[in-house]
Structure 1
Amino acid sequence: MSKVDLDRIDRKILHELMRDATIPVAQLAERVGLSQTPCWKRVQKLEAAGIIMGRVAIVDPAQIGLGLRVFVEIEAPDHSREWRAEFRAAIAEFPQIVEVHRMAGDVDYLLKVAVADMAAFDDFYLQLTRRLPCRNVTSKFSMEVIRDTTVWPIDTVTA
């Protein structure tokens, strides 16, 4: 996807919405220096362009019984189109996988997994490794979340 040119007002709108998507449009407009109608039209334009991908509630995983976060590194047995398609199909079957990244370096894929506890992770691990052939699977357990944000560092001063 190509980068879209955003002016300072668009960046301010995004900054405010990343911090709180429930902000009333009147308050948003005031914070970015617009009246309500032009502000709302800009929000709609940002949504239509796919820059704003959705508005969601950010939930504390521990509060809903998902207290263990695990980063799973996967090395593919090969880099064929068939294996990649199988990988995509397999990860779609596991709601415990909340992020997937194709990596450069020693590891081919990095998965972020959210589960209740070690027993739940063991069950997930067994199911995943039965479902998908991998050369190597390494799991790293998060002991403490120091920072976890959905607010991207957008420049609101220049542009």
Structure 2
Amino acid sequence: MIDEISLNILNILLEKARIPNVEVARQVGMAPSAVLERIRKLEKQGIIDGYEVRLNPERFNRRLIAFIFIKTDGHPHPERTPIPDTLAAMPEVQEVHEVAGEDCLLLKLRAADHQELGALLRERIRSIPGILSTRTLTVLSTHKETARFPISGILPDE
């Protein structure tokens, strides 16, 4: 079980992952070595899954966000890589989710523009064996985009 101090450490790291260990220790009222030990334990337990730099997509000409619903034939094909794994290997694809409902998969991807998106759909996504159809939504503007989720008051089991 995660205690309140570890929960506070996680919230601090969510705000600024590169915060110095000494500053985390100051904020939670512990010795830096004790905080470092807790962080390593949280990493070892898989509670902290990693650290990631968030790049500005516009600076890398990745302005267009698209969500793509994909319908597959639903049959396992042992002779080829599973469709979700094939899609996940594409560098433009940021997320791959299996979904309930009419469609089978939901992708989030970033492209430079509509021409690149069209080429990705025609040449790479729709050409994957087992994909029956796609439906694409393009984003006009983004008001919030994050990988964060609330953890206050939630103490996961060990």
Tell me if TM exceeds 0.5.
Answer: yes
* Correspondent of 1:128 among 119, 122, 125: 125
Matched, 1:68 2:54: no
Matched, 1:141 2:138: yes
Contact 1:18 1:152 in 2 (8 A): no
Over 3 Å counting, the alpha-carbon distance change for 1:78 and 1:15 in structure 2 is same
Query: Quick check: 147-156 or 93-102, which moved more?
Result: 147-156
List runs of 5+ in structure 2 lacking aligned partners.
Answer: none
* Correspondent of 2:40 among 44, 54, 66: 44
| Partner secondary structure for residue 123 of structure 1 | helix
* Structure-1 separation of matches of 2:6 and 2:77: 39
What count of residue pairs does the alignment treat as equivalent? 154
Would you tell me which structure has more helix in proportion to its own residues? Answer: 1
Runs of 4+ in 1 over 6 A off after TM superposition: none
1:112 shift after superposition: 0.3
The one-letter amino acid of 1:109's match is L
Equivalences for 1:1-159 in 2 at 5 Å? 5-80=1-76, 82=78, 85-126=81-122, 127-155=124-152
Q: Which whole-Å deviations, capped at 9, do the CAs of 1:24-76 have from their partners, x for residues lacking one?
A: 00111122232211111000011111111111211121121100000000111
> Percent identical across equivalent pairs?
26
Over 3 Å counting, the alpha-carbon distance change for 1:89 and 1:150 in structure 2 is closer
The one-letter amino acid of 2:5's match is I
The one-letter amino acid of 1:24's match is P
The root-mean-square deviation of aligned C-alpha atoms, in Å, is: 2.0
List runs of 5+ in structure 1 lacking aligned partners.
Answer: none
Contact 1:86 1:132 in 2 (8 A): no
Provide TM-score, normalisation by structure 1: 0.87
